Structure 1
Amino acid sequence: MLLRDRLSLVQVFRITWKLDIFIVLVCTLAYLVDTYWLKEHISIPASITAVLGTALAFFIGFNNNQAYDRWWEARKIWGALVNDSRSWARNLLSFCDNNAAGETKHIARRMIFRHIGFLYALKASLRQTNDRYYEGYLGGTEDDAVRNSQNIPNAILNLQAADLQLLREQQAIDGFLFRELNTMLVNHCDNMGKSERIRNTVFPPSYLFFTRIFIWFYVILNTLMLAEAIGFWSVIFGWAIGFVFHVTHMNGISLMNPFEQNPMSIPLDSISRTVEINLLEMLGHQPLPSPIEPTGGQYLL
């Protein structure tokens, strides 16, 4: 996730320089084709490019809106996970009856540690990495129980449900608190499922493919039309038009998969570490891990 609300010219150039060169080459080729061959056969009216540009702008806008909806929904899901995580730990620490039979305090702390493991396991699953950091928050037998599971975060939630039932059987929590904690457990599962839905649902590739094709067609057509009126300057104006449309489309593509590891993605590392610090502090654990530092002072992963 970007931390600044503006980009420098150097950053823009680093992102788009390959595209800039390719646009200039295509526009130059279109200018040469029109100058030495096409203008003797046909004259392209300006009304065609005007209508096509309007239609293309709507098409790109639709794509970008859908991409942003995916990104914003992912951000809301993980924001809810942060809030529910703090409430989960607070309820377990504050409202469990430590005088009840059994090791109530030990079970509550184990469930909080396990929840941190759940967040890191979910992060690794969404990013499809082999990060096993979550294993540090699971007991030895628990690690063996979830390791061979097809869905490790869901297997961790199953362990949480078993311990929640154990607290109820030991009468460490009453029926109202049991129902409240179980609702939070259901919320964890819901948010996990919503995240997996976004991660596993591919944005229709036809939208991306045809949008790119239409943009290049529009850039070439504009260059051919302008070449008849302003000559070689049509290459510069063609580049400017192509730059605007292509970069606008690139902005949408960068938001399309919010759980990937890029500057525009949801900062899962930072969010998970924030929750980890908060919960360990509530447990009185020392030392606390350090927050995730921004990459180059520009964005968080």
Structure 2
Amino acid sequence: MLIGKNIKLSRILINTWQVDIIMIVSCSITYFAREFLITHNLDIPAIIPGVLGTAIAFFIGFNNNQAYDRWWEARKIWGSLVNDSRSWARSLLSYVEENAETKELVRKMICQHIAFLYTLKGALRNYDDKIYTKYLSIQELEEIGKQSNQHNAILNIQSRELQLLSKKGYIDGFRFIQLNQLLVNFTDHMGRSERIKNTVFPTTYSYLTKVFIWLFVVSITLVISPYLEYWSIFIGWLVGFVFVSTQINGMSLINPFENNSAAIPLNQITRTIEINLLEMLGETDIPAPVKPVNEEYVL
């Protein structure tokens, strides 16, 4: 997630340089075709780029709006995960009857939840950093290794542990319901995250927007070339650059769980929860917070 107040021009050019080259080449070909191949008596109506520009504005506006909705929903999901994770640890530490057996069991259940967060993050980003392995026993690692959805398997383990606490009378029925509701919340957050990741944004919207931008750049170069001559190449690229930059900015939010500067900072959020829960357990070996990259963004 970008945290800087300003964006470096180099970062913009890194994201757009390929499209910029294509637009410059298109504008150049259009200008020289207008000068040497197309008769000067052929006048292109100015209404053509005007209509195309209006259509592009609608497409880009729709795309960016939908992209931001996906990004903001993802951020709300993980914001809720932060709150419910803290409530899970606090409830276990406060509600469960304290003795030698339950103290170790509560610690294990809180560590299992940290592992759940890391496995969920890994699944959303298609990257397994194996951090979760230090929070699970060998038997638990073997059990979740047999299932394709490891984070869901961890929730199954936690349900069994919670049931064990209830059977042994370490928590009453009311507190059991409260803790079980948090497990239901974790399942809901997990499912909503998976829905966003697995739902592909309609490619036709992005594709048609790119086609319209290309047609717009060509048409506006044709219209202004009789008046500005070779400067029409620069003006055509400049106008197209505005549309392209706006469109790319929106498309960068389409997949909010990707490991890039515009995505949700899953590393930072997961590490924050990990630190909070370990501090609640009274642990001393606590990892450092995730730091911003070049003071520009956090992952």
Q: Same fold judged by TM-score > 0.5?
A: yes
Equivalent residue, structure 2, for 1:163:
161
* Distance apart, 1:170 and its partner CA: 1.1
Output the CA distance in 1 between the equivalents of 2:211 and 2:19.
14
Q: Which range moves more in the overlay, 149-158 or 51-60?
A: 51-60
Deviation at 1:244, TM superposition (A): 0.4
Q: 291, 294, 297: which is aligned to 2:295? A: 297
Kept in 1: contact 2:16–2:244 (CA 8 A): no
Q: Is the 8 A contact 1:46 1:225 kept in 2?
A: yes
Distance apart, 1:180 and its partner CA: 0.6
Residue 134 of structure 1 aligns with an amino acid whose one-letter code is Y
For residues 145-160 of structure 1, the aligned pairs below 5 Å read 145-160=143-158
- Distance between the aligned counterparts of 1:140 and 1:119, measured in 2? 18
1:39–1:228 Cα contact (<8 Å) kept: no
Report the TM-score when normalising by structure 1. Answer: 0.96
Structure 2, unmatched stretches of 5+, are none
Structure 2 counterpart of 1:118: 116
CA distance in 1: counterparts of 2:129 and 2:199, whole angstroms? 23
Q: Deviations over 1:106-125 (max 9, x none)?
A: 11111000000000000011
Correspondence for 1:36: 36
Distance 2:94 2:78 in 1: 24
Moved over 4 A (4+): none
Deviations 1:221-250 (A, max 9, x none): 110111122211211110111100101110
Give the secondary structure class of the aligned counterpart of 2:51.
helix
Deviations 1:91-150 (A, max 9, x none): 000111115xx8112111110000000000000111112322111111111111101201
Query: Which segment is superposed worse, 72-81 or 289-298?
Result: 289-298
- Paired residue for 1:195? 193
Q: Which residue number in structure 2 is paired with residue 70 of structure 1?
A: 70
State how 1:3-22 maps to structure 2 within 5 Å.
Answer: 3-22=3-22
CA shift digits 1:168-216 (9 cap, x unpaired): 1111111111111111000000000000001111111111111111110
Deviates more, 1:125-134 or 1:235-244: 125-134
C-alpha separation between the residues in 1 aligned to 2:41 and 2:151? Answer: 65
The answer to whether the 8 A contact 1:31-1:223 is kept is: yes
* Equivalent-residue separation in structure 1 for 2:272 and 2:17 (angstroms): 36
> Shift of residue 41 of structure 1?
5.4
Which letter maps to 2:121?
Answer: K
**Matched residue, 1:59:** 59
Gaps in structure 1 of 5+ consecutive residues: none
AA in 2 matched with 1:80 = S
Residues 45-77 of structure 1: CA deviation (Å, up to 9, x unaligned): 111211221121011100110011111100000
- Per the alignment, residue 215 of structure 2 pairs with 217
Secondary structure in 2 aligned to 1:290? Answer: coil
Percent identity, aligned pairs only, is 52
Correspondence for 1:280 among 278, 281, 289:
278
- After superposition, the C-alpha distances for 1:254-287 in whole angstroms (9 at most, x for unaligned) are 0000111110011111111000000000001112
SS in 1 for 2:292: coil
**Which SS does the other structure have where 2:261 is aligned?**
coil
Cα-Cα RMSD: 1.3
Matched with 1:179 is: 177
> Partners of 2:58 and 2:206 in 1: how far apart?
14
Segment drifting more, 134-143 vs 21-30: 21-30
The count of aligned residue pairs is: 299
- Aligned twin of 2:243: 245
1:231 aligns with 229
* TM-score for the superposition, normalised by structure 2: 0.97
Query: Is the contact between residue 225 and residue 231 of structure 2 (CA under 8 Å) also seen in structure 1?
Result: yes
Q: Which amino acid aligns with 1:246?
A: V
